[in-house]
């Protein structure tokens, strides 16, 4: 939603519009990378790592602004999921998935 409702996020968070759009684009790219990662494991692992780093920034932002309990719970949950996905992807190895018959 950050890509389409940028003015709402800019007003709520006090961030520059270009930063809000960039975050939204990175989130979409990360989600697509996770999907493609079912076929190309290295891409899935890197996408999960990128989303983990992005969500660390999001949680940190909410902690600094004192609204972790109001607006920061979803980023915390997503951070845990992204971190677990990252660990599991890298533990599995980053080999290319076998071709389907």
Query: What ranges do the domains of the chain cover?
Result: 6-92
- Write out pLDDT tens, residues 39-79: 998 999 999 999 999 999 999 988 988 888 887 889 999 99
**pLDDT higher than 90, residue 101:** no
Name the maximum alpha-carbon separation found in the chain.
53
How many other CB atoms are there within 10 angstroms of residue 64's CB atom?
9
- Write out pLDDT tens, residues 79-89: 999 999 999 99
- Write out pLDDT tens, residues 1-30: 455 566 776 777 788 888 888 998 999 999
How many other CB atoms are there within 10 angstroms of residue 43's CB atom?
19
**pLDDT higher than 70, residue 98:** no
**pTM for this predicted structure:** 0.80
Identify the sign of the CA torsion 29, 34, 39, 40. positive
Q: Which residues contact 24 (CB under 8 A, 6 or more apart)?
A: 1, 2, 3, 6
């Amino acid at each position: 939603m950050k890509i389409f409702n940028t003015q709402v996020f800019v007003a709520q968070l006090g961030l520059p519009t270009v930063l809000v759009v960039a975050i939204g684009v990175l989130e979409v790219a990360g989600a697509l990378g996770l999907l493609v990662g079912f076929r190309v494991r290295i891409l899935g692992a890197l996408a999960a790592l990128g989303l983990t780093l992005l969500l660390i920034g999001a949680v940190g932002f909410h902690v600094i602004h004192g609204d972790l309990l109001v607006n920061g719970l979803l980023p915390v949950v997503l951070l845990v999921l992204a971190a677990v996905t990252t660990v599991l992807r890298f533990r599995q190895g980053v080999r290319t998935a076998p071709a389907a018959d």
